[in-house]
Chains A and B, each alone.
Chain A
Amino acid sequence: MVKKSKVLIVDDEELARTIIRKYLADFDTIEIVGECGNGFEGIKMINENKPDIVFLDIQMPKISGFEMLELIENPPIIIFTTAYDKYALKAFEVNAVDYLLKPFSHERFSESVNKAITLLKNKAAGSKPVEKLVNYNSSQKEYLERVVVKDGTKVFVIPCNKIKYIEAQDDYVMIYFASGKFLKQKTMKFFEEHLSEKEFIRVHRSYIVALSQINKIEQIQKDSYQIILKDGEKIPVSKTGYSKLKKLLK
């Protein structure tokens, strides 16, 4: 017997899930292992059921489809289903196989599922997983408003204005909040680009600081400075970082 592909449907609208379920009935090699209506449950179900393919809505309660993917290691094949066309580019950046615009036709849906199945077969045959299809330098700048982080199995959504500073740690960054710190698999460059430059500044190769948290800038030696945060913590400042700060404070 052929091994069936496991599918998870994540969408906050019951009817939207219904139509996916109905269209999937055409495929006898596919088995629906679960359905859920928000991002938190989505993460849980992906970790528990290890689906091969996930139909994912973007706009959902608690956390969005994109944020969900940030928190999953080895994400399965993703097919986005959404009424928003503006996320298409971003969807391919996170390795989505397809992007279905609601409402979609039966044919378009089947095409997308076939694409996913082919990809799964290739994957099983040991061929290379999908490379990043596109490496767009997102020209449309949209600043982050919140960050999602995971601590064990718990997911936290933290607004950016609660961030004190960010520290580089190898392939990760450590994000410091008033109430703690979280490790996240993202680059400093990502945060430098996606945090508002009115609120954050990169003062060092390894540090991004929230402007609102800065208490004062101290000179340690000639040409060597550090920032004292409001709660007394000290952050090193590089030469370029210092000139950036000076420009900003002018």
Chain B
Amino acid sequence: MENPILENVKNLYVYILFWIFITIIYIILLHWESQVDLGTVLLDGVVSFSLLGGLGLSAWYSVKYLQLDNSRAFKLIFSHVLSGLIAAAVWLFLSYSVLLFVLGGETSFKSFFSNTLPWRFLIGLLFYFMITLFYYIFIISKNLQEKNLKEKELRNLVTEAELRSLKFQINPHFIFNSLNSISALTDINRERSKTMVQKLADFLRYSLQNSNRDKNSLDEEIKAVELYLGIEKTRFGDKFEFAKEVDETMLNELIPTMILQPLFENAIKHAVYETTDKIFIKLKCKEENEMLKIIVENNFDCESISKKGTGLGLKIIENRLSLFYNRNDLFKVEKNDGLFRVTMLIPIN
């Protein structure tokens, strides 16, 4: 790490300004309190604090050497007290020599300097600690910033990974049950078994192909849903009906891949699986307030108590939407009077 004061010109100006300010206060106070003439006081202030400012710059090296996180507290304090004492002594020696040289060995100055020696020493020590403290604070805040930045980068990475992992995964039981249906159909109706195999293949192809793609058109998504429902229809027969109401101007809008099908899988799992009544599943897509509004609704058996998995599938979709569009108001689930409704809003570009 560079010395923060020398890092750029602006910091250096601020540093110099600080010392000029301190020098002026010193001069005023000293002139006020002591009977020493203004010329000597002026010279004393300028020389002393220029030197102290210079020494302050070099204090950076001791701070850099004594890092907070890898030095023991005792060692830290001891070293800084020691170097503070040395720095103050060096400072006093230098300013005394320079001032004596400039003033030509004036005796009145000599006595003035030795009278104020303890105070000078204290000032030197105080400023040494002040500057050291400033350097440490600077280092800590810089580390914090870096940590935040790293964390942010990490979060972005996690979000990306999450999005990837939240992507649709085919439910294996759906495949096995479908295969079982095909197995039965090959005996009783070969034509239907062929259609079923075809539909299953198309559906699997769609979901596999799109596992690498982020977005797809609404049209394609609806086709995948229809394939899926077609397969389930073979399994469950008349146990459910599907109807759609889609605004055709919306068909080319892009939506996150495989975001629609899980909603239907959810309806099949929680409504059709759990009841003996007939289930009606409805899909509505329309434009509203420059958004594509997608509604999936189905009736369900209020008395059936779903065993498990309630909400996880929906949660995943909600997470995907909020990660995708960076908004939390795009997904809504309503459940009342035996009607289950999911509403998704997709921002239209």
Contacts and interface: CB of A to CB of B under 8 A. Distances in A.
Interface in A1-28: 12-16, 18-19, 22
A145 B305 contact: yes
Nearest to B179: A103
Interface string B295-317: 00000010111111000000000
Contacts of B197: none
A59 interface: yes
A157 B275 CA distance: 13
A157 B305 contact: yes
Contacts of A59: 173, 273
A13 B238 CA distance: 11
B43 to A, nearest CB: 71
Interface in B259-281: 273-276
A159 interface: yes
Most central of A83, A84, A145 by chain B CB within 10 Å: A83
Tell me what chain A mostly uses at the interface: helix, strand, loop, or mixed. loop
A102 interface: yes
A63 to B, nearest CB: 9
A4 B133 CA distance: 95
B237 A18 contact: no
Interface string A64-84: 100000000000000000011
B187 interface: yes
Interface in B300-347: 301, 303-308
B50 interface: no
B235 A13 contact: yes
A232 interface: no
Given A83-B173, A102-B180, A146-B305, A15 B234 contact: yes
A40 B273 CA distance: 14
Most central of A13, A15, A18, A64 by chain B CB within 10 Å: A15
A38 B276 CA distance: 7
Interface residues of A, number: 26
Contacts of A13: 177, 180-181, 235-236
A103 B187 CA distance: 14
B266 to A, nearest CB: 15
Nearest to B181: A15
B235 A15 contact: yes
B44 to A, nearest CB: 67
Most central of B172, B180, B273 by chain A CB within 10 Å: B180
A34 interface: no
A228 interface: no
A153 to B, nearest CB: 17
Given A83-B173, A146-B305, A157-B305, A19 B187 contact: yes
A102 B174 CA distance: 11
B231 to A, nearest CB: 12
A101 interface: yes
Given A13-B235, A15-B185, A18-B188, A159 B180 contact: no
Contact of B179 (A14, A102, A158): A102
Interface in A136-151: 145-146
A86 B322 CA distance: 33
A158 B181 CA distance: 32
Contacts of A101: 176
A16 B181 contact: yes
B183 interface: yes
Contact of B305 (A15, A84, A103, A159): A159
Contact of A19 (B183, B274, B303): B183
Nearest to A41: B276
Contacts of A62: 274-276, 304
A196 to B, nearest CB: 12
Contacts of A38: 276
A137 B116 CA distance: 86
A37 interface: yes
Given A61-B276, A84-B173, A101-B176, A146 B307 contact: yes
A61 B239 CA distance: 11
Contacts of B301: 61
B12 interface: no
B86 interface: no
A147 B301 CA distance: 18
A103 to B, nearest CB: 4
B148 to A, nearest CB: 35
A138 to B, nearest CB: 16
Shortest beta-carbon contacts, A-B, top 7: A83-B176, A19-B184, A102-B180, A103-B180, A15-B184, A103-B183, A15-B181
Given A16-B181, A61-B276, A103-B180, 6 more contacts: A14-B237, A19-B187, A22-B187, A61-B273, A102-B177, A157-B304
26 contacts: A12-B236, A12-B273, A13-B235, A13-B236, A15-B234, A15-B235, A16-B184, A18-B184, A18-B188, A19-B184, A22-B187, A37-B276, A60-B273, A62-B274, A62-B275, A62-B304, A83-B176, A83-B177, A84-B173, A101-B176, A102-B177, A103-B176, A103-B179, A145-B305, A146-B305, A146-B307
